[in-house]
Amino acid sequence: MANVDQSLIAFFSNLVQPTVLIFVVVLLLSLWMLSSRNPRVNWPPGPVCFPVVGSLPQMMISGRRRQPTDLLPWYDIYGDIIHVKFGEQHMIMLGTYELIQEAFVKNAASVSARPTWIYFIKRIVGKDGAGVIFKSGHEWKELRRFTLSSLRDLGLGRRSLEERIQDEARYLVQNIEDEMGKAFSPINRIGKAVSNIISIIVFGARYDYNDTPEMLPVLEQAMRIGQGPLFFTNMARFLLPIKKIMALIDKLYSLIRQEVERHRQSFDPTDIRDFIDLFIKVTQEKQDPEIYTEWNVFRIIVDLYLAGTDTTANTLRWSLVHLMKRPDVQKKVQQEIDQVIGQGRVAKMEDKARMPFTEATILEVFRMSPVAPLGAPHATSETTNLAGYTIPKGTIILGDLYRVLHDKNNFEDPYKFIPERWLDDDGPRVCLGKGLAEMESFIFFTTLLQNFTFKVPEGEKPPDGVEGFNASTFTPYSYNVCAVRR
């Protein structure tokens, strides 16, 4: 009898395991089919969404090269507006200027939120968001107004800041001169030069090129680990080195807090030196304490340092790549510089109006190598109609600027570097990327070309002008250059 009981137990044990597995599979498929057939949601076309993982398998296969061009074939298959699902998170990718305008301008009231519920973003700014990049609604408007007002008070748009950029451009020229025309990598020293400008504004200090501020390598490491859209899924904790990323971010936070504490020790409310002093002042005065919390204003400091360093530095890095590949363009820019500025002084912003080809060349760098190919993530705060589709609340919206700027319908020969495309009878056309650190880009770019001719080192291949390292921002692969004094 005991043998019979054991046989029955073994039989049912063997039966239960596959039965449970089949039940779970059927349940997941049923939930998936019900959700995908929700009559209230009219999603745009897109890759197949599998249970649990969504479109992640296709994303990881198509995006394995980590290039902004990786997902462009999807637009040929599905159209200009694409629905994807990464894990549990729905996303919409917009591939035309008109769709981006419709979403972010015409529907700004419902498509201006930030997806702060996403695991990674929640870890770095909290579930309610903070600062000016990851905040929404009334608080974001107030914090943005405070930040713009503070930057103006600290010299943005005035001669004082322009002079500091001119000084830094001179320091950069002197540092490059020390190479005496020999091959070197410009990546780090361009980063240090641009970092010094935002450091002056935020921390009230600049650093010698031989001394690397602790914050800069931490920031650059954190920016290089990014994986684009994979960040926007709660499954990122399993797919990305989150512990390493968070350790770098915590280190950056710690270094900035140390700087804040140093400022507190010498703080004088009648002598505001930089943005950290403004941070201390506004938090001590307790104006609108629900908005001007220490965390919100601290995150503004982080946002300014992040946005003010990596993006402009990468634009300048890309500019040297393209000019080495197009020495004829480089020569034409230098001729315009010699005619308008000469060799006796540094460029200033009022020169720009008389230098259409130089400006057109900078715009072509922006177009050819946009440093933020997908821009900042937006999210719907309510159900929204977009291009005839019903987009539910809580959907992430990404504007694919890279696709727009490389669409042959917008630009002939989009993968060729042609500054002349920005010129017409009235001067340069308006660019989507215009205004991105405009003063820094113009003065640094012009001063470098005023003093040097940049060449590919003998025996080396020209750097790639299309592919680069696409993480949190799009940066060129490491390269060497010879800077020959003019």
Please give the average per-residue pLDDT across 284-293, as a whole number: 80
Residue 316 is assigned to a structural domain of this protein: yes
**Any idea what the CATH number is for the domain that residue 340 is in?**
1.10.630.10
Residue 20 is assigned to a structural domain of this protein: no
Q: Which residue has the higher pLDDT, 168 or 51?
A: 168
Rounded Cα distance between 116 and 103, Å, is 19
Residue 320 is assigned to a structural domain of this protein: yes
Q: Mean pLDDT: which of 54-68, 127-141, 391-405 is highest?
A: 391-405
Residue 228 is assigned to a structural domain of this protein: yes
Please write down the HEC assignment for all residues of the chain.
CHHHHHHHHHHHHHHHHHHHHHHHHHHHHHHHHHHHCCCCCECCCCCCCECCCECHHHHHHHCCCCCCCCCHHHHHHHCCEEEEEECCEEEEEECCHHHHHHHHHHCCCCCCECCCCCHHHHHHHCCCCECCCECCHHHHHHHHHHHHHHHHHCCCCCHHHHHHHHHHHHHHHHHHHCCCCCEECCHHHHHHHHHHHHHHHHHCCCCCCCCCCCHHHHHHHHHHHCCHHHHHCCCHHHHCCHHHHHHHHHHHHHHHHHHHHHHHHCCCCCCCCCHHHHHHHHHHHCCCCCCCCHHHHHHHHHHHHHHHHHHHHHHHHHHHHHHHHCHHHHHHHHHHHHHHCCCCCCCCHHHHHHCHHHHHHHHHHHHHCCCCCCCCCEECCCCEEECCEEECCCCEEEECHHHHHCCCCCCCCCCCCCHHHHEECCEECCCCCCCCCHHHHHHHHHHHHHHEEEECCCCCCCCCCCCCEECCCEECCCCCEEEEEC
Residue 23 is assigned to a structural domain of this protein: no
On the question of pLDDT at 146 being above 60, the answer is: yes
According to the model, what pLDDT value does residue 24 have? 47
Q: What average pLDDT is seen over the chain?
A: 84
Please give the average per-residue pLDDT across 420-443, as a whole number: 64
Domain that holds residue 356: 38-485
Q: Which residue has the higher pLDDT, 29 or 387?
A: 387
CA atoms within 13 A on the CB side of 67: 12
Residue 111 is assigned to a structural domain of this protein: yes
Percent of the chain at pLDDT > 90 equals 45
Residue 222 is assigned to a structural domain of this protein: yes
According to the model, what pLDDT value does residue 18 have? 53
Q: Mean pLDDT: which of 142-156, 382-396, 424-438 is highest?
A: 382-396
pTM equals: 0.86
According to the model, what pLDDT value does residue 30 have? 47
> Domain count of the chain?
1
According to the model, what pLDDT value does residue 100 have? 95
Summarised one tens digit per residue, pLDDT across range 211-250 is 777 877 887 777 776 666 677 778 777 777 878 888 888 8
Is 431 annotated for ligand binding? yes
* The two three-digit tokens of residue 47, written as one number: 């890759």
